[in-house]
Structure 1
Amino acid sequence: NADFIVDMGPYAGQFGGEIMFAGTKDALLKANTLTANYLSGKIKIPIPKMRKKWNNFIAVTGAKEHNLKLEKQTIKFPLDVFTVITGVSGSGKSTLLNNVFYAALMNYFGTPLSYAGKYAKISGDLNLIKHVEYIDQKPIGKSSRSNPATYIKAWDDIRLLFASQKAARFNRLKPAHFSFNVEGGRCETCKGDGIIKIDMQFMADIYLVCDACEGKRFKNNILEISYRGKNIFDILEMTIAEAIIFFNEDTENKIAGNIVRKLKYLELVGLDYLHMGQSSAILSGGESQRIKLAFFLSRENNEHTIFLFDEPTTGLHFYDIGKLLKAFGKLIEKGNTVMVIEHNPEIIVQADWIIDLGPDGGNNGGEVVFQGEPEDIIKCKKSYTGKYLKDFLKKYRY
């Protein structure tokens, strides 16, 4: 419905930054940009022809928290499939998934939450679940030095790789010397940050490049150690995409192979434009959430886990949504369960199972309007989700 559209791209990070189009919606639909091709239907996110069937489930009976009115109902949450919780704003989606379902599972696993909602009992195939993870959009690290590479544990392998170089062994340098989180190899003037914070009291703080290391975060003797012509700071300055190419060229080195394997998961969730050393403090909530997703994908022993997401597509382009859906699919292929709260029809139509709350928000919500597959919700006259999904399925299904 916009009067004027500015389309940036073509992709994200260093692969973007250009104005691909500026004009009206009608003109955009005739343009050849990524956004235009998705809006016009030239590029589509394929909708499954068949929904995954399920037998096992976790059931919550008697949920009564905030505006939920499920005292006499039992809600089944399917396992091993993709479930989407839908409904208008204020219908009780977050209360059901977070305050009740997640809290009930955490209580079952012996870690009760302070904000747990009221429910009568939790039942079903609980013996099939080993873990439950609520993937939110909170920052990935408490330290400003935390970054994508450290979070997915790729930096551990990078430190090991640099410590294995001849010059490092000759100087008796250990992997810890290539860490900016502990004393040893980091610049102690800036504590490995590369910048110095100046507290201005009644004004905004000022950040200056560290004079001691010139922003390179490490001592000179550490920066002198190189791997294939690059020092540790050079690696931090690479994008994820560049680092994958760089380490992948060393086909004989097992450590380099491990680094590539972990970084590939950041690429899978659409974050290959980020820099290796990009501070977690400047990542968006959506980027932090996808880094957490990449971490769980990278774990080898990660089966029988329920993953919960609250509106993971907020702010995402169609192109990024497609990548996110592939990542969800990978989790399910590994024997896990994915449940999300969503308003986005691009996600809802991908569901194996829908739990629709409503019919309205606030006091007029909190009821289960529908449970079933996307093809059936369009027949539910009481569901606003079904009403809008009907037109979407007609337009985009193929």
Structure 2
Amino acid sequence: RVLLFGAGRKQMKMKYKSKRWSGTYTGKWEGVIPNLMRRYNQTKSGGIRDWIEQFMSMRPCPVCNGARLKKESLSVTVGEINLGEFSQMSINQALNFIQKLKLESMDHIISQEILKEIKERLRFLYDVGLDYLTLNRSASTLSGGEAQRIRLATQIGSQLMGVLYVLDEPSIGLHPRDNKRLLNTLKKLRDLGNTILVVEHDKETMEAADFLVDLGPGAGEHGGEVVFSGPPENILKSKKSLTGEYLSGKKRISVPKSRRNTKAKELILFGASGNNLKSIDVIFPLGKFILVSG
């Protein structure tokens, strides 16, 4: 314990040995952990922080079990659960809980406006396809698409008008079944009196737009020109737009007639549980083209 956490104010006799100097001296022993924490907080070097972080790990607080609230706060319950238990729910579960919550008449009057606001905020997150996220999810673990959709839900809640919103592929990482909810949310934002400019490659989003701008004719240095601009239905008739040819069905991505059936080595993951994964086992055959969807 003294080695890790230090000896406080106590003077200790220590032997020091290195290539440049060796000897004995008396002084205070800071401890390995306080030393690393002090250096981590004081340094401006990213390299030193990365080196120290290899000795660090995140663990739930043993007192509150990760609820981030003191005992007195956790002792208050509504509907037989406290705030810590509520924050462990997914957006979908929390929304169902609020909708089914039954209170006494006086409690209902007091909480009416608060519950209405909570319900609306949860509904916004649900509508942008984030119903699977838990309320206590750390922001650092969110994907770029998830973080962007949270910001989008926040903007809808602010009820601003006359704003230009620029979104970079908001459907990225979103399951196709949730795409319509996202599109309805964008339309609600538009109907408030805002302009929504979306950079997107999703077919359903293109068809839902009021106005479509297609850049091309190729990618990278072979593009950069406006090939088409106008209502989405008109791009189907465009002879210059490669996007229009695929949207109209004139061109298709062909399905391979044969697949690789060679026996290959496998990469097997057991109990994967990061972020949204629920302790799954999965096999990836090596040397093949593998797709993960969902």
Q: In which range does the TM-score fall when normalised by the shorter chain?
A: 0.5 to 0.7
The within-5 A match list for 1:1-398 is: 201=52, 203=54, 205-248=56-99, 249-250=101-102, 252=108, 253-254=111-112, 255-300=114-159, 302-391=160-249
Q: Secondary structure at the match of 1:363?
A: helix
1:259-283 CA distance string (max 9 Å, x none) = 1122111111121221111111111
Letter in 1 for 2:80: G
1:319, distance to aligned residue in structure 2 (A): 0.8
Q: Secondary structure at the match of 1:208?
A: coil
Cα RMSD between the aligned structures?
2.4
1:128-185 CA distance string (max 9 Å, x none) = xxxxxxxxxxxxxxxxxxxxxxxxxxxxxxxxxxxxxxxxxxxxxxxxxxxxxxxxxx
1:289, distance to aligned residue in structure 2 (A): 1.1
1:366, distance to aligned residue in structure 2 (A): 1.5
Are the structure 2 counterparts of residues 369 and 275 from structure 1 closer, same or farther at C-alpha, using a change threshold of 3 Å?
A: same
1:250, distance to aligned residue in structure 2 (A): 4.2
Give the Cα separation in 2 of the matches to 1:321 and 1:331: 15
Q: Secondary structure at the match of 1:289?
A: helix
Give the Cα separation in 1 of the matches to 2:198 and 2:62: 47
Are the structure 2 counterparts of residues 334 and 341 from structure 1 closer, same or farther at C-alpha, using a change threshold of 3 Å?
A: same
Give the Cα separation in 2 of the matches to 1:275 and 1:202: 26
In structure 1, the gaps of 5 or more residues are 1-198
Partner of 1:98: none
Letter in 2 for 1:357: L
1:216, distance to aligned residue in structure 2 (A): 2.7
TM-score by length of 1: 0.46
Structure 1 contact 241–267 (Cα < 8 Å) conserved: yes
Structure 1 contact 271–287 (Cα < 8 Å) conserved: yes
1:364, distance to aligned residue in structure 2 (A): 2.7
1:300-340 CA distance string (max 9 Å, x none) = 3x111111111222232221211111111111221211111
1:353-394 CA distance string (max 9 Å, x none) = 111111123333221111112222122222111111111899
TM superposition outliers: structure 1 runs of 4+ over 6 Å: none
Q: Secondary structure at the match of 2:226?
A: strand
Give the Cα separation in 2 of the matches to 1:221 and 1:352: 53
Structure 1 contact 247–257 (Cα < 8 Å) conserved: no
Give the Cα separation in 2 of the matches to 1:303 and 1:260: 22
Structure 2 contact 129–174 (Cα < 8 Å) conserved: no
1:174-199 CA distance string (max 9 Å, x none) = xxxxxxxxxxxxxxxxxxxxxxxxx9
Give the Cα separation in 1 of the matches to 2:151 and 2:53: 36
1:204, distance to aligned residue in structure 2 (A): 6.0
Give the Cα separation in 2 of the matches to 1:205 and 1:382: 56
Structure 1 contact 349–393 (Cα < 8 Å) conserved: no
1:285, distance to aligned residue in structure 2 (A): 1.2
Structure 1 contact 200–206 (Cα < 8 Å) conserved: no
Are the structure 2 counterparts of residues 262 and 385 from structure 1 closer, same or farther at C-alpha, using a change threshold of 3 Å?
A: same
Percent identity between matched residues is 39
Question: Highest Rg: 1 or 2?
Answer: 2
Are the structure 2 counterparts of residues 344 and 392 from structure 1 closer, same or farther at C-alpha, using a change threshold of 3 Å?
A: farther
Give the Cα separation in 2 of the matches to 1:347 and 1:246: 32
TM-score by length of 2: 0.61
Structure 2 contact 129–179 (Cα < 8 Å) conserved: no
Give the Cα separation in 2 of the matches to 1:218 and 1:200: 31
Q: Secondary structure at the match of 1:360?
A: coil
Letter in 1 for 2:86: I
Partner of 2:19: none
Give the Cα separation in 1 of the matches to 2:154 and 2:92: 17
Give the Cα separation in 1 of the matches to 2:198 and 2:232: 15
Q: Name whichever structure is richer in helix by fraction.
A: 2
Q: Secondary structure at the match of 1:349?
A: helix
Partner of 2:287: none
In structure 2, the gaps of 5 or more residues are 1-49, 253-294
Structure 1 contact 308–338 (Cα < 8 Å) conserved: yes
